[in-house]
Structure formats: C-alpha cells, structure tokens
C-alpha cells in the first residue's frame, strides 16, 4: 500500500461508516444520510479499498450488519474527525449569524431557577448585543457534554466528574445533597443519619448521576432505597414531600427555601455534587463566553458565601 493512500479517505466515507455502525443496516444508514442505499455501499467499499481491510460484515437474508475489529478501530478515529468538523462548522456559523452575537448555553432546571436569572442580568448589562440561547436538559447532564463535543452548545452547566472528551472545565459550586421533609415530620428534629432513611419512602429524580451515588451509598449500608415517586421536575418532588408522599432527596440548589411546608436538612455521609461550566477545549473562546464564565463564577461564589454565613449563624 502506498504511504499516501489513506489521504484518499473523505469525510463522506467516515460518515457512512458511522451511520452503518449506528443503524445496523445500509438501508437505514442511507435514509439517515439522505442517500440511496447503493451510494452508502459504494462509500463503504471505497473505504475498505483505501484501508485494505474489511470493515463491515454483510449479513445474508437482511440481517443486521456488524463492524469488524478493524472497522471499530477506524470508527474511534472517525468519531473524533467528524466531531472536529462539527465544531469547525459551529465556529464558522457564529460568524454567519453576526460576529459572536449568539451564545448557546446548556442548563439544568436548578441552574435555570437559582443561577441563571442573576447571571443573565449581569451578562446583559455587559454584552447588550449578544443574545443568550439556553437549552435545558431535564434528564442526565451527559447529553449536555455530548452537545458540547459536537459543537451544538458553546458552554454548558454540568456535574462532575466529566466523561472522556475534548472538555475544558471550570468548577463553580459544591452543592450538598439534602433531604426535604414535611415540617412536622419526626425527621425534622434531632440528629439525622443515613440509617434513619431505612424503610422510608423516598421521592427523587428519574435519572440523575448524583442521586445514583446517593442510592449506592445507602445500599453500601445495607439500606435498599424505596422510591414512592420519581420526577424530573424539582418543584414536583418538593411538593410531594410537603404532601407527605415521601422524603425528597435533592441537591440543595434544587430546593425552594421559601416553601414553608417543608424543612431542608443536609444528608450526612453523602458526597456533594460539583457543578461546573464546560466548553470544547479546541473551539474559539469568544470574549462574551469568557465574560459569561466569569459572571457564573461570581454568582456561584455569592451563593456559596451565603451558605457559609447560614452555617455559621446556625
């Protein structure tokens, strides 16, 4: 094989391989890419000729195709190449919309309620010509990491630890896990331990990395968590706690402290969640984005300082 033969690989070859791998068939891959099936077959055949390796095992009888070991190795590199292309597209698109006139930010519900309003006020005063476009993710923040990697978002609030990827992280806030209970509950008084939750019906999020750690900690103590209800809406979880449906397990930032029907108590023995901002480390870091990060740090420091004062006064 000639040394420069791999220079004949084109982006469309890699996109076809990725689509076939994800869809499990040439037909569905073609539909996804907007091609006819024969075009996808030709691109895979061309890629195999260039690499000198069989990349896809074609099944007979219409069964799903499989990716060979060589194909899996190439896919790892293809994903990175296609991801970088999407990032480049995002950076160039910003210029087309008007230089740095839009900032796309991923958020979660608690961030949208407790951090974003003050942050937006500060940001708008400093950058009146930049439009902020928030995207809320109700379930796992891992999807927000994916959107950052693919250039769909410029910045995003996330939880740590970060998955593997081209990420630059700015830590913002340590957010302890708490239980939220009816104000007249016996658990609202006296010393609280994790064993007090044995046999107690719980209310919490449907899918949350932090809550999964809480559940694992309880199981390590021989306590099987019993959830009476799960929801992705913080207000719903707290409302059910106030109604006595169960004890809510939430990060402190997700709790409305003005709700007089409930009491919030820190959950001992549970590591807090760590909130951060993430960006793609290889993307252009615009002045508005830098300002947004600095503003988020300032707002989160205010929240942290307020908590420290409350702890001291208590």
The DSSP-derived string for 65-91 is: PEE-HHHHHHHHHHHHHHHHHHHHHHH
Averaged over 31-57, what is the pLDDT?
Answer: 91
Are 171 and 304 contacting, i.e. CB atoms less than 8 angstroms apart? no
Tell me the two tokens of residue 270: 């549970």
Range in 95-104, 170-179, 285-294 the model is least confident about: 95-104
Task: Decide: 105 and 294 in contact? Cβ < 8 Å.
Answer: no
Residue bearing the bigger pLDDT, 171 or 15? 171
Are 266 and 175 spatial neighbours (Cβ–Cβ below 8 Å)? no
The CATH class that applies to domain 177-271 reads alpha beta
Task: Give mean pLDDT, residues 177-182.
Answer: 89
For residue 251, is pLDDT > 50? yes
Q: Of 3.40.50.300, 1.25.50.10, 3.90.280.10, 1.10.10.10, which CATH number belongs to 5-90?
A: 1.10.10.10
The answer to whether the CB of 140 falls within 8 A of the CB of 158 is: no
Q: Which of 24, 18, 33 is nearest to 71 (CA)?
A: 18
Average pLDDT over residues 242-261: 89
Rounded to whole angstroms, the Cα distance separating 239 from 215 reads 21
Mean pLDDT of the chain: 87
Please determine whether the domains at 100-174+275-313 and 177-271 fall in the same fold group of CATH: yes
Residue 171 scores a pLDDT above 70 = yes
Query: Would the pLDDT of 239 be above 60?
Result: yes
So what's the architecture of 100-174+275-313 in CATH?
A: 3-Layer(aba) Sandwich (3.40)
Q: Which two tokens stand for residue 284?
A: 């252009």
Distances (CA, A) of 89 to 92, 98, 165, 290: 5, 15, 18, 20
How is the chain split into domains, by residue range?
5-90, 100-174+275-313, 177-271
Written as six digits, the tokens of 65 are: 């195709």
pLDDT score recorded for residue 185: 84
What does the pLDDT read at residue 215? 87
CA-based nearest residue to 251, from 293, 218, 216, 208: 208
> Percent of the chain, pLDDT > 70?
92
pTM score, two decimals? 0.73
Please determine, for residue 96, whether its predicted confidence score (pLDDT) is greater than 70. Answer: no
| Rounded average pLDDT over 30-53 | 91
pLDDT at 99 over 50: no
Instruction: Give the mean model confidence (pLDDT) for residues 27-40.
Output: 90
Helix (H) or strand (E) holding 308: helix 287-313
118 against 283, higher pLDDT = 118
Q: Please state the separation of Cα 136 from the chain's center in Å.
A: 10
Partnered with residue 170 across adjacent β-strands are: 277
**313 — pLDDT class (breaks 50, 70, 90):** very low
Confidence check: pLDDT of 211 > 80: yes
pLDDT beyond 50 at 87? yes
Residue 314, pLDDT above cutoff 50? no
Contact between 175 and 273 (Cβ < 8 Å): yes
pLDDT at 291 over 90: yes
- The model's confidence at residue 175, banded by pLDDT at 50, 70 and 90, is very high
- The answer to whether residue 268 scores a pLDDT higher than 90 is no
Could you tell me whether strands 247-251 and 177-182 are parallel, antiparallel, or unpaired per DSSP bridges? Answer: antiparallel
Cβ pair 165, 282 in contact under 8 A? no
Based on its alpha-carbon atoms, the radius of gyration of the chain, rounded to whole angstroms, reads: 25
For residue 158, what are the β-bridge partners? 276
**In whole angstroms, how far apart are CA 57 and each of 3, 63, 79, 266?**
26, 11, 20, 55
Give 120-151 pLDDT, tens digit per residue: 999 999 999 899 999 998 667 899 998 998 88
User: What is the per-residue DSSP string for 84-127?
Assistant: HHHHHHHHHHHHHTSTT-EEEEEE-HHHHHHTHHHHHHHHHHH-
CA-to-CA dists, residue 52 to 6, 25, 221, 287, angstroms: 10, 22, 55, 46
- The length of the chain, given as a count of residues: 314
pLDDT surpassing 90 at residue 189: no
Band of pLDDT at residue 172, cut at 50, 70 and 90: very high
Residue 1 has pLDDT above 70, yes or no: no
């Amino acid at each position: 094989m000639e040394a420069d033969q791999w220079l004949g690989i084109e982006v469309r070859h890699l996109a076809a391989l990725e689509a076939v791998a994800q869809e499990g068939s040439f037909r569905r891959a073609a539909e996804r890419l907007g091609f006819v099936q024969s075009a996808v077959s030709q691109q895979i055949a061309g890629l195999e000729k260039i690499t000198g390796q069989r990349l896809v095992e074609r099944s007979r009888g219409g069964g799903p195709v499989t990716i060979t070991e060589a194909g899996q190795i190439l896919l790892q590199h293809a994903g990175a190449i296609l991801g970088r292309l999407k990032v480049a597209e995002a950076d160039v698109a910003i210029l087309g919309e008007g230089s740095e006139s839009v900032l796309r930010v991923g958020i979660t519900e608690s961030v949208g309620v407790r951090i974003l309003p003050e942050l937006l006020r500060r940001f708008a005063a400093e950058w009146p010509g930049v439009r902020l476009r928030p995207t809320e993710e109700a379930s796992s923040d891992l999807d927000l990491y994916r959107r950052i990697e693919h250039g769909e978002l410029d910045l995003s609030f996330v939880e740590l630890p970060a998955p593997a990827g081209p990420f630059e992280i700015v830590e913002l806030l340590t957010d302890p896990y708490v239980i939220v209970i009816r104000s007249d509950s016996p658990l609202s008084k006296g010393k609280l331990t994790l064993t007090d939750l044995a046999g107690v019906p719980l209310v919490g999020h449907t899918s949350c990395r932090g809550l999964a750690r809480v559940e694992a900690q309880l199981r390590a103590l021989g306590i099987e968590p019993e959830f009476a209800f799960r929801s992705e809406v913080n207000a719903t979880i707290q409302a059910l706690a106030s109604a006595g449906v169960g004890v809510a397990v939430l990060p402190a930032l997700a709790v409305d402290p003005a709700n007089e029907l409930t009491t919030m108590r820190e959950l001992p023995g549970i590591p807090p969640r760590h909130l951060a901002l993430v960006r793609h480390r290889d993307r252009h870091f615009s002045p508005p984005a830098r300002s947004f990060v600095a503003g988020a740090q300032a707002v989160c420091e205010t929240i942290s300082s307020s908590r420290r004062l409350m702890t001291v006064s208590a």
